[in-house]
Amino acid sequence: METIRINGGRKLGGEIDIQGSKNAALPILAACVLVDGVSVIHNCPDLTDVSAAAEILCHLGCTVTRQGHTLTVDSRNISCYNIPTRLMSRMRSSIVFLGSILSRTGKAELCAPGGCEIGLRPIDLHLSALRSMGVAIDESQGTLYCYINDSIRSNVITLSFPSVGATENIMLAAVFAKGTTTILNAAREPEIGDLAAFLNRCGCKVKVSGGGTILIEGVKKAHSVEHTVIPDRIVTLTYMAATAAAGGDVLLKKTQPQHFLTVNHIFEKAGCNVNCTNNSVRITRNGRLRCVRDIRTMPYPGFPTDAQAPVMAMLCLAKGTSVMVENIFESRFKHVCELAKMGAKIKIEDKVALIDGVEALYGANVNAIDLRAGGSLAVAGVAAQGTTVIGSVHHIDRGYENIVECLRAIGADAERSDMDERFPG
């Protein structure tokens, strides 16, 4: 199995250009299905999840070419409306193609994505919203058979929870509906704003208000478009956590600090210096980290659940006991047992993690249980004394582009190895 080996314990220094956002690129690629033309998408990260989305687009009849970080999608000839299980199972967030396939073809067939390592991941909010827009949805043996009798109806939809995916699916289903669709209590993540910007650039009419209300006025069609994806705030926060954990002075460029201002505050409480410009963040940590007692994951603009694992890894070395509450997903502490192998002292009580800081972490053989758990092991690995070998790195490659090269750019001793007898299979 492919692994990443990190010889940790040295201060970090250097700079990284932050990749485009995975969670902005994926719904934007799904939105390409709406476009009767060509979509040119810049700053599109080279990730396995993005490749999975590109495969779905090709299956639907698009042609997709990549030149560096620019993806060109020709979606003039959409020839089918189903996503085979083998493609759906590669990436559960493919459910966001449902709204765009329905808008373009009037029907859709795909398997319900099911749960994953961090939780059950239900899609009830997606389905109830689409049904309220006139979409007939039959669920049979795990497959969703969706069709529209006449046309998608605009509606006023209040989400009981500001679900990112449900917000995206409603937006994509509403763009050609007759009338104006209103989403209340919509997700407010920056990735939603980026999807809206893409849709407006291809001729749709989407208005995002700061207070979680989104208005989508139906149009006839979507035309060719060129768009640049926003930077990845979670990748930025992961490398900030690595610097905080190992110590040092690192500059992260081509990012957008206004997308993670609430988290900067946590790094400062932990004893780091954080200096932001509009497109970069410089983080330094010299003395020992201090514990932080009140971190609760919340919908944006609160502390992002995707940063919980990487920031927890850094707090394992803080003086005192830190407290993190995971409010978004019901089983997003799978990284704790791996961090414990490295000497971390963490107690879990339901959705609360108590992190008793230790003087040092030690290298160990660990496994990336999921994407952000993998990020947390890289954070712990650069700070640990000795060698950490991380298995199941395919989880990490879903969301972190060239993580070994990036860690080396800031002075970490990291390498990727193809096979490692300690990680058979």
Catalytically annotated residues: 116
CB of 169 to ligand EPZ, least distance (A): 9
Dihedral class, residue 254 (left if φ above 0, else alpha if ψ from -120 to 50, else beta)? left
Q: Is 122 in the site for ligand EPZ (CB under 6 A)?
A: yes
Tell me 86's DSSP state.
Answer: H
Residue selected from 163, 284, 322, 392 as contacting ligand EPZ according to rule CB under 6 A: 163
Q: What are the C-alpha distances in Å from 98 to residues 11, 56, 185, 331?
A: 46, 12, 21, 26
Q: What is the x/- site pattern for ligand EPZ, positions 309-328, by CB under 6 A?
A: -------------------x
Residue selected from 121, 254, 269, 334 as contacting ligand EPZ according to rule CB under 6 A: 121
- In 3D, which of 419, 369, 405, 417 has the Cα closest to residue 14? 405
Q: What are the C-alpha distances in Å from 323 to residues 44, 208, 295?
A: 35, 34, 6
Q: Is 342 in the site for ligand EPZ (CB under 6 A)?
A: no
Residue selected from 19, 75, 82, 93 as contacting ligand EPZ according to rule CB under 6 A: 93
Residue selected from 3, 105, 185, 305 as contacting ligand EPZ according to rule CB under 6 A: 305
Q: Which stretch binds ligand EPZ (CB under 6 A): 63-71, 158-166, 248-256, 358-366?
A: 158-166
Which residue number has the CB closest to ligand EPZ? 165
The pairing of strands 225-228 and 3-8 is unpaired
Nearer to ligand EPZ among residue 97 and residue 267 (C-beta): 97
Nearer to ligand EPZ among residue 114 and residue 119 (C-beta): 119
Q: 417, 5 in Cβ contact below 8 A?
A: yes
Nearer to ligand EPZ among residue 16 and residue 371 (C-beta): 371
Residue selected from 97, 329, 333, 400 as contacting ligand EPZ according to rule CB under 6 A: 329
Secondary structure element (H or E) that encloses residue 107, with its range? strand 107-111
**DSSP-assigned letters across all residues of 290-315:** B----EEB-STTSB-GGGHHHHHHHH
Count of residues engaged in binding ligand EPZ, rule: CB under 6 A: 24
Q: 302, 228 in Cβ contact below 8 A?
A: no
Residue selected from 13, 61, 119, 134 as contacting ligand EPZ according to rule CB under 6 A: 119
Q: Which stretch binds ligand EPZ (CB under 6 A): 115-123, 200-208, 253-261, 403-411?
A: 115-123
Q: 126, 165 in Cβ contact below 8 A?
A: yes
The partner residues of 112 in beta bridges, in order of sequence, read none
Residue selected from 73, 88, 166, 263 as contacting ligand EPZ according to rule CB under 6 A: 166
CB of 185 to ligand EPZ, least distance (A): 12
Q: Which stretch binds ligand EPZ (CB under 6 A): 116-124, 209-217, 335-343, 409-417?
A: 116-124
Q: Is 99 in the site for ligand EPZ (CB under 6 A)?
A: no
Q: Is 395 in the site for ligand EPZ (CB under 6 A)?
A: no
Q: In what order do the strands lie in the sheet with 82-83?
A: 82-83, 107-111, 143-148, 135-140
In which residue are the tokens 């930077």 written? 231
CB of 418 to ligand EPZ, least distance (A): 25
Q: Is 125 in the site for ligand EPZ (CB under 6 A)?
A: yes
CB of 124 to ligand EPZ, least distance (A): 5
Residue 199 and residue 217: Cα distance in Å, rounded? 11
For the four alpha carbons of 247, 308, 413 and 7, in that order, the dihedral sign comes to positive
CB of 343 to ligand EPZ, least distance (A): 25
- In 3D, which of 118, 163, 22 has the Cα closest to residue 326? 118
Q: Which stretch binds ligand EPZ (CB under 6 A): 10-18, 138-146, 159-167, 223-231?
A: 159-167
Secondary structure element (H or E) that encloses residue 245, with its range? helix 233-246
Neighbours of 124 (CB within 10 A): 10
Q: Is 259 in the site for ligand EPZ (CB under 6 A)?
A: no
Nearer to ligand EPZ among residue 30 and residue 412 (C-beta): 30
SS3 for 252-270 is: EECCCHHHCHHHHHHHHHC
Nearer to ligand EPZ among residue 33 and residue 291 (C-beta): 33
**DSSP-assigned letters across all residues of 372-397:** HHHHHHHHHHHHSBEEEEEE-THHHH
Q: Is 53 in the site for ligand EPZ (CB under 6 A)?
A: no
Chain residues in the site for ligand EPZ (CB under 6 A) = 22-23, 26, 93, 119, 121-126, 161, 163-166, 187, 305-306, 328-329, 371-372, 399
